[in-house]
Amino acid sequence: MKFNIKPLSIKTKLTLFFAIFSLAILGIMWISQVLLLETTYNNKKKNDLIFLGEEITANLDSSDLNILINQKSFGNNNNIYLLNQNGMVLLPIEIASTSNNFLRSNLFNAMITNLNNVDDDVVIYKLKDESTSYVYCAKLIYNEETVYLYINSPLEPVKQTIALLSYQLLIITAIVILLSMVLAIIFSNNISKPVVQMSKAAKKLAKRDFNVVFVGSSYKEINELAETLNYTKSELMKSDDMQKQLIANVSHDLKTPLTMIKAYAEMIRDLNGDDKVKRKKNTNIIIDETDRLAALVNDILNISKAGTGLDNFEKKEENISEIVMGIIEKFGVLEEYKSYKFIIDVDTDLFSICNKEKMEQVIYNLIANAVNYTGDDKKITISLKEFKDYIRFVVIDTGKGIPKELLENIWDRYYRSVETHKRPIKGSGLGLSIVKSILNAHGFNFGVDSIVGSGSSFYIDFPKIID
Ligand code: ADP
């Protein structure tokens, strides 16, 4: 069976917690002070009595026995007698010498009966006469005669003390509960207020209101939560900006080729349907533009793949030299028709462990960028060289370069420099973010060196295979 328990508010929980805590403490006090007071007192009295009985027994042969008995009698409100077998008082002498020197026969009889009922020579029992008392009786030998030590230690009435304590505790209980409630309310207000405020702000944020600010409090955890939420907000803002930018980029990039395709198609239909050369030229433009659209769609697809499928791709030993040369070949057409100059310095048969498809994507993107951004000399240098610990792949262009302050941004998703390039391979601002996620997932070292005005050099270090 499933119970749907509604979570309680901080205020209710804290109040309950404080109330239970103070009740528990007070309960312990009640039990120890009120319920156990009598038992504790009685036990102590009994132990004292046993100790006194043993002390007198030990001093039976002492010449100061009478003094000791007197001392212990008056000091502690005890009645101590040494009696003979008839119940006549032998000590203290002060009583023995009076006419009233017999223990009341009923008490003496009770004592003898109690002593007879046990094997021991000592017995302790509770006497309820005029008032309650503990009685210690011992059968001893004194001056070669059987005698009895009788100590009566009256118990003070504790009922009154208990009543007084109960009254005090009742007042304390009331005050403590009231105080705990007040404290609970203060604490819970302190804690819950900023949380409630943050929850309101978070709801606004969910509706894309980026003006909200998450305010912390004097509690460390709540402060951390506020900081995290503010950080989340700034990240959301960034991604929101980037998405807007992407939509702007993509729609811009979609619009241009579509307009071109339409214009050239109309031209073929209306003007040069019969002119073979012109028709070929115009249909080629249509094909080119369609390719641009396809590249754009591919980039968008790739970024979602790069974002999601990076956790479990297969890696194995690959010939990096072949991968690089394979990609360079695809750009051959640019060398042939668009007068690009590729300077290639790729060592053969260099191996590393990676995912071939992803690496092809990375190298393709870096070369495509170099093609797009290189200078008017249309020169691109590509190299793959073996170093002591790694194999370094480098693509160098002769373009405008990237200003230092933008070097970090270029790897961000959707980031594009404001300038729209009119180059063979249309981009979407996604290329380098794909490169970054793939290389990070491989754990490879990579980066860019750029000099404004002279060009950029992107590099990847492939780890060497250690036998
Ligand atoms: P894009 O489709 O805009 O090329 P990328 O993610 O590949 O997207 O690159 C992001 C940005 O980085 C580019 O818009 C450009 O500003 C900058 N960039 C990338 N490669 C180069 C390069 N070789 N030279 C100069 N700037 C570059």
Residue-level pLDDT at 118: 79
> What are the residue ranges spanned by the domains of the chain?
36-156, 220-307, 313-463
Class of the CATH-defined domain 220-307: mainly alpha
The ligand 1 site (C-beta within 6 Å) comprises 369-370, 372-373, 397, 399, 402, 410, 415-417, 427-433, 456
Q: Give the closest residue to 27 by CA, choosing from 176, 182, 157.
A: 176
At 364, give phi and psi (nearest 5°). -60, -45
- According to DSSP, the residues that pair with 207 across neighbouring strands are none
Residue-level pLDDT at 308: 46
Question: Which numbered atom of ligand 1 lies nearest the CA of 415?
Answer: 10
Q: Is 197 exposed, middle or buried (0-12, 13-18, 19+ CB in 10 A)?
A: middle
**Digit-coded pLDDT (tens) for 391-428:** 999 999 999 999 998 888 888 766 665 554 455 555 55
Assigned token pair, 125: 């029992």
Q: Is 137 exposed, middle or buried (0-12, 13-18, 19+ CB in 10 A)?
A: buried
Nearest CA to ligand 1 atom 8: 429
Give residue 416 CA to ligand 1 midpoint distance, Å: 6
**Digit-coded pLDDT (tens) for 80-131:** 999 998 889 988 888 888 888 888 888 888 888 888 887 788 888 888 877 7
Which of 46-60, 91-105, 253-267, 295-309 shows the lowest mean pLDDT across its residues?
Answer: 295-309
Bond into 194 cis (ω within 30):
no
**Do the Cβ atoms of 355 and 313 come closer than 8 Å?**
yes
Q: How far is CA 417 from the centre of its chain?
A: 40
Statement: residue 247 has pLDDT above 80: no
Residue-level pLDDT at 374: 92
Q: How far is CA 36 from the centre of its chain?
A: 44
Residue 467: pLDDT band (50, 70, 90) is: confident
Give residue 439 CA to ligand 1 midpoint distance, Å: 17
Nearest CA to ligand 1 atom 2: 427
- Give 56-65's long-range contacts (Cβ < 8 A, gap of 24+): 56/80, 56/149, 56/151, 57/138, 57/140, 57/149, 60/140, 60/142, 65/91
Query: H or E stretch including 460?
Result: strand 455-463
pTM of the predicted model, to two decimals?
0.46
**Digit-coded pLDDT (tens) for 271-286:** 766 778 888 888 887 8
Q: Give the closest residue to 84 by CA, choosing from 96, 73, 74, 94.
A: 96
Mean pLDDT of 161-175: 85
Average pLDDT, the chain: 84
- CA-to-CA distance for 14 and 122, rounded, in angstroms? 58
Residue-level pLDDT at 392: 97
Kindly compute the dihedral angle of the four CA atoms of residues 409, 415, 419, 423, in this order, to the nearest 10 degrees.
Answer: 110
Give residue 387 CA to ligand 1 midpoint distance, Å: 28
Strands (DSSP E) found in 265-361: 316-319, 341-346, 351-354
**DSSP-based three-state secondary structure for 174:** helix
**Do the Cβ atoms of 217 and 194 come closer than 8 Å?**
yes
- According to DSSP, the residues that pair with 316 across neighbouring strands are 354
Question: Which numbered atom of ligand 1 lies nearest the CA of 395?
Answer: 23
Which amino acid appears at position 443 of this protein?
Answer: G
- CATH for the 313-463 domain, from 3.30.565.10, 1.25.40.10, 3.40.50.300, 3.40.50.1220: 3.30.565.10
Sign of CA dihedral 139, 141, 147, 151: negative
- CA-to-CA distance for 448 and 458, rounded, in angstroms? 4
Statement: residue 157 has pLDDT above 90: no
**Do the Cβ atoms of 148 and 140 come closer than 8 Å?**
yes
Residue 429: pLDDT band (50, 70, 90) is: low
- According to DSSP, the residues that pair with 140 across neighbouring strands are 147
Assigned token pair, 3: 């119970």
Statement: residue 445 has pLDDT above 60: yes
Residue 74: pLDDT band (50, 70, 90) is: confident
Query: H or E stretch including 454?
Result: none
Assigned token pair, 439: 């290389």
- CA-to-CA distance for 406 and 409, rounded, in angstroms? 5
Q: Which residue has the tokens 């023995």?
A: 96
Statement: residue 192 has pLDDT above 70: yes
Residue 363: pLDDT band (50, 70, 90) is: very high
More confident residue, 6 or 389: 389
Assigned token pair, 339: 């007068």
At 455, give phi and psi (nearest 5°). 130, 180
Q: Name the residue of 249, 296, 300, 373 whose CB sits within 8 Å of the most ligand 1 atoms, as the mutation to test its pocket.
A: 373
Identify the architecture of domain 36-156 in CATH: 2-Layer Sandwich (3.30)
Give residue 402 CA to ligand 1 midpoint distance, Å: 9
